[in-house]
Structure 1
Amino acid sequence: MSLPAAFLAATARLIPEERRFDDPLSTLAFGTDASFYRLIPQLVIRVESEREVIELLKLAGAHRVPVTFRAAGTSLSGQAISDSVLIVLGDNWNGREIRAGGAQIRLQPGVIGASANAVLAPLQRKIGPDPASIAAAKIGGIVANNSSGMCCGTAQNSYHTLAGLRLVLADGTLVDTEDSASVTAFRASHAGLLAQLAELGRQTRANTELAAKIRHKYRLKNTTGLSLNALVDFDEPLDILSHLMVGSEGTLSFISAVTYHTVPEHPHKASALLVFPDVESCCRAVPVLRQQPVSAVELLDRRSLRSVQDKPGMPEWVKSLSNGACALLIESRAASASVLAEQIERIMASIAEFPLEKRVDFSSDPAVYNQLWKMRKDTFPAVGAVRATGTTVIIEDVTFPVEALAEGVNRLLELLDRHGYFEAIIFGHALEGNLHFVFTQGFDDPAQVARYDAFMGEVAQLVAVEFGGALKAEHGTGRNMAPFVELEWGSEAYRLMWAIKRLLDPQGILNPDVILSEDRELHLKNLKPLPAADAIVDKCIECGFCEPVCPSRGLTLTPRQRIVIWRDIQARKRAGIDTRELEAAYQHHGLDTCAATGLCAQRCPVGINTGELVRKLRGQQAQHSGTADWLAGHFATALKGARLGLLAADSARRLLGAPRLARWAAGLHQQFGTPLWTPAMPQPVQPLKWIAPAPSDKPRVVYLPACVSRAMGPAFADAEQTSLLDKTRALLEKAGFEVIFPAELDNLCCGQPFTSKGYAQQGDAKRDELLAALLSASRNGQDPIYCDTSPCTLRLVQGNADQRLRLYDPVKFIREELLDRLEITPQEAPVAVHVTCSTQHLGEAEHLIEIARRCAKTVVIPEGIHCCGFAGDKGFTTPELNAHALRSLKDAVQICEEGISTSRTCEIGLSTHSGIDYHSLVYLLDRVSRPHH
């Protein structure tokens, strides 16, 4: 049913056009969350204020239009999708306020969970919920789903650590439980609603059988249905109301802010892995460990261990475990090393009588600790990565009473085998009896859907009826378990949930069919296709973990959305449907505005680099191979042309003045797409004049200035007027090195400019030519090679098969070769640090920050800026990507007079959008250092 014209007209008056989306590309992109369901919204609205939410809910109520709220879209049960109006959070929901020295934190719903913890980390505190998606999931979703995780259990989830809520009800009423004026006004305007909530609470508590059932259900990890424990845990109606919102999945209100009681983040931690000979002995150890000072106990069945045993970095012994083996990964945390040691002793003594097949003792060594947790965290993606193309990977999470855990695991394994899910694995949070089982499922024919239906029906009977457990422990009910809520809870509790829903959302406009549905086959409808698109991205599980690091997120598409649209285009083509309109929109949204830096691959559970797909598609469009061949063969001429272009731009600046030139260039860019000039545009660098030195006993370093360093000098207004080439050379000589340059330097290039434009063949040829020149210059690898720009270094490192070459980016060379040769006096002036994408890929991010902290007493790392979006030359040709990626930079670096980075092109965009000059790290190091004497 289409949306009412009056609603659309009123919405258009309220929300600017650039934040309303109804085109096929945008609605499809937003119609996807991490679940295996898909609904295409008719209208997507990006909201930026509470007032907008209030007015939209009033309009929705007046016109009976269903609405669904969306935070990060990492939910797994279909609760963040809609075929009506989807309301997504914009940029302005990122507020946070630390209270009582860190004992509490007030958060808006757009704050990413990991960001909240980063703010609390210096105070050794954190929020209680710790979902696996915490680096992508937002607070709004974490509260609305009552998400938990490995260490959270039930005691530290949102329900039990809630200190206050600010929410907007379905009728548009705002209430803040921490604001006395708001509470007083709400008690006056909604006295009837509060009285009915109080009465529901009284009736529930008086019904001893129902109250006992509710208490039992929430002794377990349980997110099936609405949070009925609010009715037995509280008698004050406002407390009942606020706790009902936790886990309500957007079906009762919009959560505008939450205040958490924080929990300790103990600095000392150690982990052990104990492998038991069978499931029974493994599960019998869990109640014993429950009595010990453990923060996490993760169960891994033999299949899950087998799924990761061949991965790089896994210990060999995993392969030799018996078929019935079952492991527990145990973590203990403490405020001090001595207390941690005592705890470990207690833990091991408690299970000393249990037979073990293999034991990895408690360790705080990062190498051991990280390997154990990698084993656990790689299980889910391991199944996702080996599934057949076109199938989806499903992760379900159930809770068995801990005392029945062994039988529950074995019965679940039997069920999976009986229904043919032989690739399925089981792991989970054993302390809570919470098991995740992961399997792959096709939905492309009725027989597959019927198999899934039969399996889920038996799972529901086994878990909810036979064992009295929970069908959803932490992933939320969503659409997936909505048909089974009554089976688990019984008709009396189920009627109570409907009474709450109708009291708070009488028109049924908030996320209909989520949690509560009258459709008993809802879980089998609107199943999401995952059609083959390209081998590079076919393993994508559409989880959304990639999205926070994408510079085009909120401008055009995210990596997940790029894959969603490309999958759809390919499926339509195979079906003979005209895709020209969709492909035309994809050109800008999918290809032109992708930075293609591959940060998404670092966050992706299955390692997908969406930038690779984009580069491949650009390559298919590339029409100028001849030009690329000529440029590759005459690179020195091309470099001379670049210098002349910069000289012409600088001459125009002198003639017209910077403000007039900037206006003129902006107009030309808008009209003709010419490169954008800004005051941060570099001046040209004079070609290098260098004569090979006479032999000496100084250590040699081959210095490779990137082509941008050979062409681009400082901007005209920069306080630093020495080129990067000269500054680097001087610093290396200050540290006692003899600096060597490769022969025919101006002809050399790593090939990145060619590859990023889709000319991979020319790019690879230039890279190989450069590697050969570096081998010669370094005397067959005797001398280290210093490249002054991290993107070029990364390209060379990734393409270098010759083990003789020792390639260094600025960060690695400085920390390994220069710091010990220099005496550093840190400066008082604060500096901002931008960690480039390539620095992150090279594994040098933390080292860059450490070096900056040695050089300056105050270092600012702007939150939420993972990639600057300049992407080689996109800052000139697609400047909106750079501007969007750095939209929060200026506010973040206000106290700084300088920023540092390791990429000259990135520094142009950073300087443009920050209001301060950004330079290479070597400028800062040179300024604060002198040679050791």
Structure 2
Amino acid sequence: MLPEHYQLLAKQVAEFIPASRIITDYTRRLAYGVDASFYRLVPQLVLILDDETEVVRVIKAAAHAKLPVTFRAAGTSLSGQAQSDSILIMLTNNWRNHEIVDLGLKIKLGPGVIGADANKYLLPYGRKIGPDPASINTCKIAGIAANNASGMCCGVAQNSYQTLDNIRLVLHDGSILDTADQASISAFKKSHVQLLERLHILAIKTRSDEKLSALIKHKYRLKNTTGYAINSLIDFEDPIDILAHLMIGSEGTLGFISSITYNTVIEHKYRASSIVFFPDMRTTCSAVSALADANVSAVELMDRRSLASVSDMKGLPEFIKTLGKDVGALLIETRAANQQLLTEQIADLENLLSDFKQTNVIKFTDVASEYSQLWAIRKGTFPAVGAVRETGTTVIIEDVAFPVEQLADAVAKLQGLFEKYHYDEAIIFGHALDGNLHFVFTQDFSTQAEVDRYQSFMDDVCQLVAVDYQGSLKAEHGTGRNMAPFIELEWGKEGFSLMQQLKALFDPSFLLNPGVIINDDPLAHIKNLKNLPAAHDIVDKCIECGFCEPVCPSKGLSLTPRQRITTYREIRRLTASNDNPQQLRELEKDFNYLGVDTCAATGLCADRCPVGINTGDLIRDLRNVRNTKYQGLSQKLANNFASIEKMTRVSLAIAGFSQRLLGNSVMGGLTGTVRKLSANNIPLWSKYLPNKARYQPKVISNYSSVKPKVVYIPSCASRSMGQAVDATEQRSLTEVTYAVLAKAGFDIISPDFTGECCGMPFNSKGMFDEAEQKRSSLLTKLTELSENGQHPILIDTSPCKSMLLENTAATANLSIYEPVGFTADVLAEHLVFEQLNDTIMLHVTCSSRRMGLTDKMEQVAKLCSHNVVIPEHIQCCGFAGDKGFTTPELNENALATLKEQVPSGCSVGYSNSRTCEIGLSHHAGIDYQSILYLVDKATTSKEV
């Protein structure tokens, strides 16, 4: 039960916010409140806001009730700045607007735009945004700006502070300032005279304080995100400019960023990378100083431990395993406008580096696959520590900055602290040109002794960085709660007092993200520490970074992979401790739907996870436990799959007949009523549901023929499900596949496969034994038909291929394809493609993404059509086998933005999974078919 004052606020905001976006239940408050830091606060209320008007009204209502609010973007922050024990404000997908300005020289972005998407919009213009944090594929623009996040190539010159053009803000009193709008500025100058005058006075005082001004200039020649951007007080004279730049790095403690416009920077097309290894860190750091004025875009430093952590990565040279204990390395990248310049820059850099003793070198390469492998070394260091940490510990990554000229000594002192406090696994890497070092270590917070060790270590680190070397305690990760107690240590009394005054000026009631940046508690950094108890082997390595979230089809409906793991951990903790039985019952009840039933189990999360966790594996395991009572039934279904298949065909035939007889409107009304009466246990009907497929096995007539041969297995879905009754194209997928293969000159080996299955329907429900039974049976048959792999095997839906490939031993000698790979790798040699003028939609299935077929699928589509549209923000359709029938809200949620992205005049879409195509058709309002229909339409036989 919520405290009364939160209940009253929830009731008040319900007048203008729908109940679905007011989160009061404990399960979702716990799950939604998690971020990537090592802190844990549970908000009392979560509000998911749709537009600026709602933000204004909520801020005013909270201020009136004297309740604190915290603004949250993607929650990838590492210092505890995106958590709240009061009101947490999150955003809907309506905040993802963008506008290209001045032919890409500027870009206006909503706070919900993912950083990588901003760069995607700018790519055709040869531009990008300046900030390039490691989390750019997940973090959002509001977080990038609010933390002044930078990254590997950004440096000091291209961060949000330096590349800000204008900004739109909501302040503590609900007032709005748009610095791109002169009318807004004029109105603000009248309504907020005292605030602007006070800013003007603070700026004058700061500039006149020679000691403080000198300190500010020194600190900001380094990367620095400790505290507020008080450099704005000496960089600008106009209070509006000062105010705008104070918002950068303010971590939501001074106001809400509604939109921001960046001045963009050049994205050079040509690039090359090298890794150079030096005998010790002193030589390594000396090379960094020499590279400071060279033509490089990035110089990443790695110590010996960080290199050791990734030494087993595929494709790395063996010598990495035998490097000396003092070795350091630099990953160097140079970029240029053309190949000639790139070649010249490489030669100059190799000549410069030849002055330094080297133990080994991986020479500069401009081959994308090769330099990507080099960057994988650097990017793999942080996850590598997370992957080997002991269960129950958390991974902490700190980021500091030293003056570059003192980097070698500082690194040695830092390594000395690791030894003093026995952080034997700690590694150091970082953006060397800026003196910006990250160090990663594992920490157990379950005992007071461990907390004390961490506290003493951090005290010494802060003394080393801020006092001994006059560096930055936070270079790019933000102050948060973690460094709030140490701001005065770095900035002194005058600097800290100035920041306190700014906080009081912008947030006089201290209701905007309290406890972050300005915090009077000297022990704030060791309170509310996150507990990561053992929960399940599959997910125990999760560090709750949130990188998985953008690709999850249930995001916005129920829980994301990170949130599922957080909730399940709490369930396991409460089960073991028996602390709160009532809360445990609530969590378990809610998790059945929010965690288990609405998980598509696609595995896309594993591709984004730094430590490779597939949360879908956990969910399937939980389904296995839950479905144990149905073991006998599932075995009968597996043993009698042919009968199930025939019953499905009969049911679809009856449904198709009824649809033609009654019409779509009547059919929809009747089935909708029946579904409601069955408590939603009857599958959802739509006019896009398939009719019975026309399936006819095809027996090869002449095995001795000189024609190429292919084993074609129609999936159980293709054998059962034809086209929708109203579809323009009425040929079944098997008919079209036969036609394409015949056109290409293949002899087709496709006997009756009735009753055969890849096992996916069983596997998704956690019926692992039955899944393996069906898969093994099919693979045995395919091995025989393909004459032990002599002939390629085509299965016409991508999830089936993905499922078969999981049995690596049985498929080792087989060449198994789905439609995209088969078209690109096999059919392309036998067919003539002619691009159609039709505008088509293309959906890349989650299984295709996991198998690395995204680019190939787009290439095949573009061979067939001039106009291919791939909708944004849809990584998975959420149909998930049969969940589109039984849990249709998952499919609806995943495809919520699809229909609006279908261009006018477009009447057809293509994919490579029959069940996915049902949901896509339903939510797009156009027919989706297998991409083989497109291939058939756009090709002719190649003359011999």
TM over 0.5: yes
Q: Kindly indicate whether residue 502 of structure 2 is the aligned counterpart of residue 500 of structure 1.
A: yes
Alignment of 1:823-838 (within 5 A): 823-838=832-847
Q: Deviations over 1:243-263 (max 9, x none)?
A: 000000000000000000011
User: Separation in 2 of the partners of 1:779 and 1:542?
Assistant: 47
Matched residue, 1:891: 900
What is the distance in 2 between the residues matched to 1:426 and 1:215? 27
What is the DSSP-based 3-state SS (H/G/I as helix, E as strand, rest coil) of the residue aligned with 1:828?
strand
Distance 2:259 2:320 in 1: 45
Q: 1:605 aligns with which of 603, 610, 615?
A: 610
Cα deviation 1:84-121 (Å, max 9, x = unaligned) = 00000111101100000000000010000011111111
Matches of 1:686 and 1:255 in 2, distance apart? 56
Q: CA deviation at 1:686?
A: 3.1
Cross-structure match for 2:779: 771
Q: For structure 1, which segment, 698-707 or 4-13, has the greater mean C-alpha deviation from structure 2 after superposition?
A: 4-13
Deviation at residue 367 of structure 1 after TM alignment: 3.0
Residues 3 and 42, structure 1, Cα contact 8 Å, conserved in 2: no
- The residue aligned with 1:725 is 734
Shift of 1:315: 2.0
CA drift at 1:414: 0.7
Displacement of 1:667 in angstroms is 3.0
How far, CA to CA, are the matches of 2:246 and 2:595 in structure 1? 40
In the other structure, the counterpart of 1:749 is: 757
Q: Tell me the CA shift for residue 2 of structure 1.
A: 6.0
**Contact between 2:694 and 2:732, CA under 8 Å: does it hold in 1?**
no
Mapping of 1:442-841 within 5 angstroms? 442-576=444-578, 577-578=580-581, 579-622=584-627, 623-672=629-678, 673=680, 674-695=682-703, 696-742=705-751, 744-802=752-810, 803-841=812-850
- State how far apart, in whole Å, the 2-side matches of 1:932 and 1:909 are: 35
Paired residues for 1:290-329 under 5 Å: 290-329=292-331
Quote the Cα distance in structure 2 between the aligned partners of 1:908 and 1:283: 58
Structure 2 residue matching 1:185: 3-state secondary structure? helix
SS of structure 2 residue aligned to 1:690: coil
Deviation at 1:800, TM superposition (A): 3.5
Question: Does the aligned pair in 1 maintain the 2:485–2:524 contact within 8 Å?
Answer: yes
Give the root-mean-square deviation of aligned CA atoms.
1.0
Secondary structure, aligned partner of 2:528: coil
Segments of 5+ residues of structure 2 without an aligned counterpart are none
Please give the alpha-carbon distance, in whole angstroms, between the structure 1 residues aligned to 2:9 and 2:792: 67
The answer on whether the counterparts of 1:771 and 1:800 sit within 8 Å (CA) in structure 2 is: no
Q: Which residue is 2:71 aligned to? A: 69
TM superposition shift of 1:692: 3.2
Secondary structure of the equivalent of 1:14? coil
1:687 Cα deviation from its structure 2 partner: 3.8
Quote how far apart the aligned CAs of 1:533 are: 0.6
1:718-758 per-residue CA deviation (whole Å, 9 max, x = no partner) reads 1111111110111011011101014x410210010011112
* Deviation string, structure 1 residues 60-88 (Cα, Å, up to 9, x no partner): 22121100000000000000000000000
- Residue 927 of structure 2 corresponds to 917
1:368 to 367, 370, 373: 370
Report the 3-state secondary structure (helix = DSSP H, G, I; strand = E; otherwise coil) of the residue aligned with 2:440: strand
**For the residues of structure 1 that align with 2:585 and 2:378, how far apart are their CA atoms?**
44
Q: Distance in 1 between matches of 2:893 and 2:422?
A: 48
Secondary structure of 1:801 counterpart: helix
CA distance in 2, matches of 1:660, 1:178: 54
Distance of 1:68 and 1:7 partners within structure 2: 15
Counterpart CA distance in 2 for 1:679 and 1:392 is 50
1:256 maps to what in 2?
258
Shift of 1:8: 3.4
Indicate the larger mover: 883-892 or 365-374.
365-374
**2:139 is the alignment partner of 1:133:** no
Contact kept? 1:701, 1:783, Cα under 8 Å? yes
Cα distance in structure 1, aligned partners of 2:65 and 2:197? 28
CA shift, 1:349, in A, is: 1.9
How far is 1:649 from its partner? 1.2
- Distance between the aligned counterparts of 2:699 and 2:219, measured in 1? 80
Question: What is the deviation of 1:694?
Answer: 2.1
Aligned-residue offset at 1:5: 5.1
| Cα distance in 2 between the residues matched to 1:99 and 1:250 | 26
Report the 3-state secondary structure (helix = DSSP H, G, I; strand = E; otherwise coil) of the residue aligned with 2:829: helix
- In 1, Cα distance between the equivalents of 2:16 and 2:208? 47
Query: Which of residues 180, 198, 223 in structure 2 aligns to 1:178?
Result: 180
Percent same amino acid at aligned positions? 53
Once the two structures are superposed, the pairs formed by residues 100-179 of structure 1 within 5 Å of their partners are: 100-179=102-181
Cα distance, 1:402 vs structure 2: 0.3
2:499 partner SS: helix
Report the alpha carbon displacement of residue 535 of structure 1 after superposing the two structures with TM: 0.1
The answer for the alignment partner of 1:905 in structure 2 is 915
- Does the CA-based 8 Å contact 2:700-2:747 persist in structure 1? no
Following the alignment from structure 2 to structure 1, what is the Cα–Cα distance between the partners of residues 142 and 40? 21
Task: Look up the equivalent residue of 2:90 and give its one-letter code.
Answer: V
Q: Partners in 1 of 2:322 and 2:4 — Cα distance? A: 60
**326-335 or 626-635, which deviates more:** 626-635
Where does 1:348-367 land on structure 2 (aligned, <5 Å)? 348-367=350-369
Q: Report the count of equivalent residues.
A: 932
Q: Secondary structure at the match of 1:625?
A: helix
TM, length-normalised to structure 2: 0.98
* Partners of 1:633 and 1:690 in 2: CA distance: 24
Residue type of the alignment partner of 2:498: L
Which residue does 1:932 correspond to in 2? Answer: 942
Which segment is superposed worse, 445-454 or 797-806? 797-806
**Secondary structure of the corresponding residue to residue 857 of structure 1:** strand
- Alpha-carbon shift at residue 669 of structure 1 (Å): 2.5
Matched residue, 1:21: 23
Note if contact 2:107-2:264 (Cα within 8 Å) is conserved in structure 1: yes
Question: Which range moves more in the overlay, 788-797 or 8-17?
Answer: 8-17
CA distance in 2, matches of 1:9, 1:871: 36
| Residue-by-residue CA offset, 1:551-596 (whole Å, 9 max, x unaligned) | 0001100000000000000000001242222111100100000000
Contact residue 699 and residue 748 of structure 2 kept, 8 A:
no
Distance 1:300 1:817 in 2: 44
Matched ranges for 1:180-195 at <5 A? 180-195=182-197
Q: Give the TM-score taking structure 1 as reference length.
A: 0.99
Any gaps of 5 or more consecutive residues in structure 1? none
Q: Which amino acid aligns with 2:901?
A: A
Structure 1 match to 2:332: 330
1:624 CA displacement? 1.5
Mapped to 2, the partners of 1:686 and 1:925 lie a distance apart of 20
Amino acid at match of 1:342: E
Shift of the 177–906 alpha-carbon distance from structure 1 to 2, 3 Å rule, reads same
Contact 2:695 2:735 in 1 (8 A): no
Show CA shifts across 1:854-877 (max 9, x none): 111111111100000000011110
Q: Any idea what the Cα deviations from partners look like across 1:782-802, whole Å, max 9, x if unmatched? A: 111011100000111121413
Please, which of 874, 877, 886 is the counterpart of residue 886 of structure 2? 877
Instruction: Please say if residues 3 and 84 of structure 1, whose CA atoms lie closer than 8 Å, have aligned partners that are also in contact.
Output: no
Distance (whole Å) between structure 1 residues aligned to residue 902 and residue 10 of structure 2 = 40
Give distance in 2, aligned partners of 1:844 and 1:567. Answer: 34
SS at match of 1:372: helix
SS in structure 2 at match of 1:3? helix
The answer to whether the Cα contact below 8 Å between 2:699 and 2:749 also exists between their aligned partners in 1 is no
- Rounded to whole Å, the distance in 2 between the matches of 1:330 and 1:691 is 59
Kindly indicate whether the alpha-carbon contact (under 8 Å) linking 1:542 and 1:560 is maintained by their aligned counterparts in 2: yes
